[in-house]
Amino acid sequence: MQTRTDPAVRALAARDPKVPPAAVERLTRDPDPAVRAAFARHPNLPPSRLAELLDDEELVHHAAANPALPAPAIRALVSTCAGSADGE
């Protein structure tokens, strides 16, 4: 039987759009990498924490897939990626 202390259960909770922002933020710091990744994509992730995750090597790809990512951040990511592709 799985309990809420089970990482799979915590990661599954990321599918709930009603998870409060404070809980989403806390779960981006979870000890389990799958839980952190799932919550980095959650639309209720507070903007300040989302910005931090864009600088986190482990979670940047997941944070970049967050539907709440603002347009300026998307443009900055695209610019950075384009610069990397050009060898900068």
Place of tokens 């959650």: 42
Give dist(CA 83, CA 86) in Å, integer. Answer: 5
pLDDT in tens, 64-75: 999 999 999 889
Q: Model confidence at 5, in pLDDT bands (50, 70, 90)?
A: confident
Question: For the chain, how are helix, strand and coil distributed in percent, rounded to 5?
Answer: 60, 0, 40
Whole-prediction pTM:
0.83
Is the confidence at residue 88, as pLDDT, over 90?
no
pLDDT at 76 over 60: yes
DSSP category for residue 42: -
For 50, other C-beta atoms within 10 Å of its C-beta total 24
Res. 9 pLDDT band, cuts 50 70 90: very high
Q: Which residue has the tokens 């759009």?
A: 17
Which of helix, strand or coil describes residue 32?
Answer: coil
Percent of the chain with pLDDT strictly greater than 90: 75
Averaged pLDDT for residues 8-28: 96
